[in-house]
Amino acid sequence: MLWLLSMVKILLGFVLEKPWLYAAGAVLLLILLALALSSWLRRHRKKAPVFVPPPPPPPTSPEEELRSLGILEIRPRPRTAVNAPRETESPPSPPSPKPASAPLEAPPVPLTGVVERDPVLTPLLESLRAALEAQTVALLVQEDVALEYRILAISSTVSSVRQAGTFRSSVPLLVPTMVERSVTVREMTPELYKALGYYGETPPKVAELALAPVPYSREGALYFLVADADASGRFDQLLAHTLLVEFGQLLVALLEGRRAGVSEALAAQRPRREIIAEEMEWARREGKPLALALVHLNRADAVAAEGPAVLAAAEKALKAALYESAPDQRIERFGELIYGVFYRAPVPEVEAWAARLQSKLAQSGGWLEGGVSIGVAVLQDRHQTPDQFRADATEALREAYESGSCTILE
């Protein structure tokens, strides 16, 4: 209507020869042109470039095609020998009897348990993600290895996100110059996009990243929050910075409280000295060899810092691995992520077992990532008391931890 009014004024001024009508129409027309131009510039200025991930390559094999559809693994349903279906449609044949002496094969004991959501940290990150309107929010820790990050807790709207574990990246998420800042917002680049290893598959569209260091002090470790969004400008507001800083302070209180709440549970157990004395007495009475192997998780300090739930899960995984490797031997807990194995066998057999166990766990992931150290003491005449026997095993464990290889003291 304003455009039409300006044109009418100009025509009336021209027809009626009224200069003031002509001038008023021209001024109104110029004002409308200025408003239209500013509106056009404002709309185009808000459109920030968004990095669009490249489309995944077409599958080259049936396995890759299944993975592209979200099918990671196909397993047959467990079934008994009686109800198992035939592989062909031929007439059924009478089953051949199994030898009576053939024992049933026990299923292998898994080394890692099912990943469980942290009952405290995960709901906290879910609240932060909802307040930020972010796509994913995660609490990560970088320890001794550069460009290697471990997921402590995560909340995401994307189903392919990893709930736990460690990932590596080619570029740092949080560079040293950003550690001194409370919050850093980074625009997405192709290199940074590839570094988002907390996604199990190809990451979704990500426009920007917000990183906030968590001032939780632990030697050799850097804790920080990371949040990503699929649209630019989501983390530029003061509210987003305040939320990241305040939630970081809350995480510090929770992590410090967990560390203080981790206590030794050996007081309620049978004293280790009595167990060692019992094994020594049996070995000398029967005239059989005996070795005490102490097995210690190398990442024990980092695991204990994450609280009782993570500590219990790691101890469960370590104990399961020991029972799988030595099912016929006595296994007892000797401390936080330290287990003792009373191996009743000659030294060569003990040495071979320890080497196999250390090599296998060095390649493990999950709770057992980082492997173990193994120190072994062989029972000798000089061991008159349980404390002497345990002291030799402890000394062997210390040497094994420093050298990185299994140590046996005879």
* 307 and 208 within one domain: no
* 94 within some domain: no
* 62 within some domain: no
Q: Tens-of-pLDDT digits for all 410 residues of the chain?
A: 555 666 666 666 666 666 766 677 677 777 767 777 777 766 655 554 555 566 666 655 555 555 555 544 444 444 433 343 444 444 444 444 444 443 333 333 333 344 567 788 999 999 999 999 999 999 998 876 678 888 989 999 998 888 888 888 888 898 878 888 899 999 999 999 999 999 988 889 999 999 999 988 665 678 999 999 999 998 988 999 999 999 999 998 888 877 665 544 444 456 888 999 999 999 999 999 999 999 999 988 888 877 777 888 888 889 989 999 998 899 998 888 899 999 999 999 999 999 999 999 998 888 888 899 999 999 999 999 999 999 999 999 999 999 888 999 88
CATH number assigned to the domain comprising residue 132 = 3.30.450.40
- Picking from 261, 279, 305, the residue at the C-terminal end of a domain is 261
| Local structure of 168: helix, strand or coil | strand
CA distance 279 to 333: 15
* 256 and 278 within one domain: no
Count how many residues are written for the chain.
410
* 248 and 317 within one domain: no
CA distance 375 to 291: 10
Print burial letters for 129-156: b (CB count within 10 Å at least 16), e (below 16): beebebbbbbbbbbbeeeeebbbbbbbb
* 285 and 257 within one domain: no
CATH number assigned to the domain comprising residue 275 = 3.30.70.270
DSSP 161: B
Number of domains in the chain: 3
CA distance 340 to 32: 85
The answer to whether the beta carbons of residues 21 and 30 sit under 8 Å apart is no
* 41 within some domain: no
Print burial letters for 88-99: b (CB count within 10 Å at least 16), e (below 16): eeeeeeeeeeee
CA distance 313 to 362: 18
* 403 and 287 within one domain: yes
Residue 2: closest CA among 36, 46, 40, 37: 36
pTM score over 0.85: no
Burial class for 47, CB neighbours closer than 10 Å (0-12, 13-18, 19+): exposed
Supply 223's token pair. 């804790």
* 44 within some domain: no
* 172 and 253 within one domain: yes
* 90 within some domain: no
* 54 within some domain: no
* 403 and 272 within one domain: yes
- Sequence-distant (≥ 6) Cβ neighbours of residue 15 within 8 angstroms: none
* 289 within some domain: yes
H/E stretch holding 291 reads strand 291-297
* 351 and 271 within one domain: yes
What does the pLDDT read at residue 164?
A: 84
* 278 and 149 within one domain: no
* 372 and 272 within one domain: yes
* 300 and 229 within one domain: no
Which range marks the domain in which residue 328 is found?
A: 266-409
* 43 within some domain: no
* 229 and 191 within one domain: yes
